[in-house]
Amino acid sequence: MTPDAENALARAPGIALIVLDGLGDRPNPATGGVSPVEAAATPNLDALAAKGELGDIVTVAPGVAPESDAGVFALLGYDPVHDSPGRGVLEALGVDVPLAPEDVALRLNFATADGDGVILDSRVGRNLSTSESRELARAVTGADLLAAVGIRAEVRATVGHRGVLWLHPTSGGRLSPNVSNADPFYEKVGGMGQARRPERPVVQTVRALDTSPEAARTADALNRFLTAAADRLASVPVNARRAMAGKKIANSLLVRNAGALPEHPPVPFEKRYGLRGASLTEMPVERGIAEILGLADRYVGPMGPDRESGYRERARVARELIATYPFVYVHLKGPDEPGHDGNAVAKREVIEAIDRSFFGPFLDGLDLATYRIGVTADHATPAILKGHSDDPVPFLVAGAGVVPEAPGVPRKFGETSAASGTLGHGRGADVLPRLLRPNRPAPA
């Protein structure tokens, strides 16, 4: 960063990067043949677009359908393959697992499988409560399934169907994160996970990804654990209750993206950019990203039943943060889940709620002559695909020093306007340099 850039940034009172998880989409017949983003009524985002510049980005690279952690690393200017310690470590840090250097952690989903092991639902109908997942986690952890091979295996339930598998060796030396995924819906590439669409989704046999005895031991332990855990889950009372209620049961575990504490952690955000940073996060993985990058985190937790109130509270916290810190990263989970569910109408409604109840109060009274706002997504989750994709996502910059590309002309925030905007087409790695670019005057 040049001295001029550093001086300009030092004078900036606040810059916010607002990440709408899974925002990007494709035209869908359920939303009138346009994307849920373009079908949504978004007067606040539209007004912001009219005051700024639009473009689009592929968050990681063409052909890569990233998970959220990889997308966020890229948006914050880090290499998700080499800088990330892995989704498992980030999730573990997000729920305060006391990892030791010899441990391995993996992201975990409770899932529903048929008698042949085919995964029927990787999210247990998306109605497994956190209290139910904690009961399942206690049952699996209490069985001490890897005691015979000198490993303590602990399942930590996090939110809903999500969790962390923590492997701690009690004898035999350290474990290795260099193992493949058991989750058939994701592939591990370095510290990054990317989505895949298997023809026959069954739990995969975990393989060592190098020739070390530590990797071989870890892979063998995981395969033992997953087989034994499936047997244990079948007898947990919560599954009997769910079956009686006609709900899907959690009788399988999917684990992915093994990681270990890095010997050389990524450069902290403040050291990299010369800016104190903060974050507003809803899920453990984003909380873990904030911790490993040294961002001061305000963890608000998952959205409750009152969505409108939840977004207003997030807007209030975001305004507090941007008044205090030179840089704020805000992560809103909302659009991703209906995208995974294939529900384009619900995704449109979530986007409208975010515009109305987050962007409305967040922008109300905010002096865009002094503050700068960026809005984008960590990846696309097209409802028509029910999963992540490598589709470009909108990128909007407005506020201090940003010259509107079409002053006074109404703009619709969405994929079409973004594709033809003056910011052009870029990658996730381009977002921070553009957002932090020193102010430039409007033309005379």
Question: Could you tell me if 198 and 183 are in contact, meaning their C-beta atoms sit under 8 angstroms apart?
Answer: no
Tell me whether residue 362 is in a domain.
yes
Given 221, 237, 259, the domain boundary residue is 259
pLDDT for res 206: 97
Tell me whether residue 440 is in a domain.
no
Task: Please check whether residues 166 and 308 belong to one and the same domain.
Answer: no
**Strand extents, DSSP E, 26-99:** 52-58
The domain total for the chain is: 2
Separation of alpha carbons 22 and 14, rounded Å: 25
Task: Please check whether residues 142 and 201 belong to one and the same domain.
Answer: yes
pLDDT for res 131: 95
CATH number reported for the structural domain that contains residue 317 in this entry: 3.40.720.10
pTM of the model: 0.90
Tell me whether residue 345 is in a domain.
yes
Task: Please check whether residues 116 and 136 belong to one and the same domain.
Answer: yes
Task: Please check whether residues 338 and 431 belong to one and the same domain.
Answer: yes
Task: Please check whether residues 319 and 373 belong to one and the same domain.
Answer: yes
Task: Please check whether residues 93 and 78 belong to one and the same domain.
Answer: no
Task: Please check whether residues 102 and 181 belong to one and the same domain.
Answer: yes
Separation of alpha carbons 372 and 97, rounded Å: 36
Question: Could you tell me if 80 and 59 are in contact, meaning their C-beta atoms sit under 8 angstroms apart?
Answer: no
Task: Please check whether residues 21 and 103 belong to one and the same domain.
Answer: no
Nearest CA among 152, 378, 373 for reference residue 285: 378
pLDDT for res 439: 57
Domain that holds residue 127: 89-259
Tell me whether residue 387 is in a domain.
yes
pLDDT for res 4: 40
Separation of alpha carbons 227 and 232, rounded Å: 9
CA atoms within 13 A on the CB side of 297: 20
pLDDT averaged per 10 residues in sequence order, the chain, 444 residues: 43 84 97 97 96 95 92 95 92 95 97 93 93 96 97 96 97 95 90 83 95 97 97 94 96 96 93 95 96 96 93 98 96 95 97 98 95 97 95 96 80 94 94 81 45
Question: Could you tell me if 214 and 175 are in contact, meaning their C-beta atoms sit under 8 angstroms apart?
Answer: yes
Judged on CB neighbours under 10 Å (0-12, 13-18, 19+), 171 is exposed
Tell me whether residue 215 is in a domain.
yes
Given 213, 244, 259, the domain boundary residue is 259
Task: Please check whether residues 101 and 119 belong to one and the same domain.
Answer: yes
Structure tokens at 104: 């391995």
Task: Please check whether residues 133 and 231 belong to one and the same domain.
Answer: yes
Cα angle, residue 252 at apex, residues 247 and 257 outer, rounded to 5°: 125
CA atoms within 13 A on the CB side of 262: 19
Task: Please check whether residues 66 and 152 belong to one and the same domain.
Answer: no
Tell me whether residue 443 is in a domain.
no
The percent helix, strand, coil of the chain (3-state, each to 5) is 35, 25, 40
Given 242, 259, 276, the domain boundary residue is 259
Tell me whether residue 117 is in a domain.
yes
Question: Could you tell me if 112 and 248 are in contact, meaning their C-beta atoms sit under 8 angstroms apart?
Answer: yes
Question: Could you tell me if 424 and 3 are in contact, meaning their C-beta atoms sit under 8 angstroms apart?
Answer: no
Task: Please check whether residues 56 and 94 belong to one and the same domain.
Answer: no
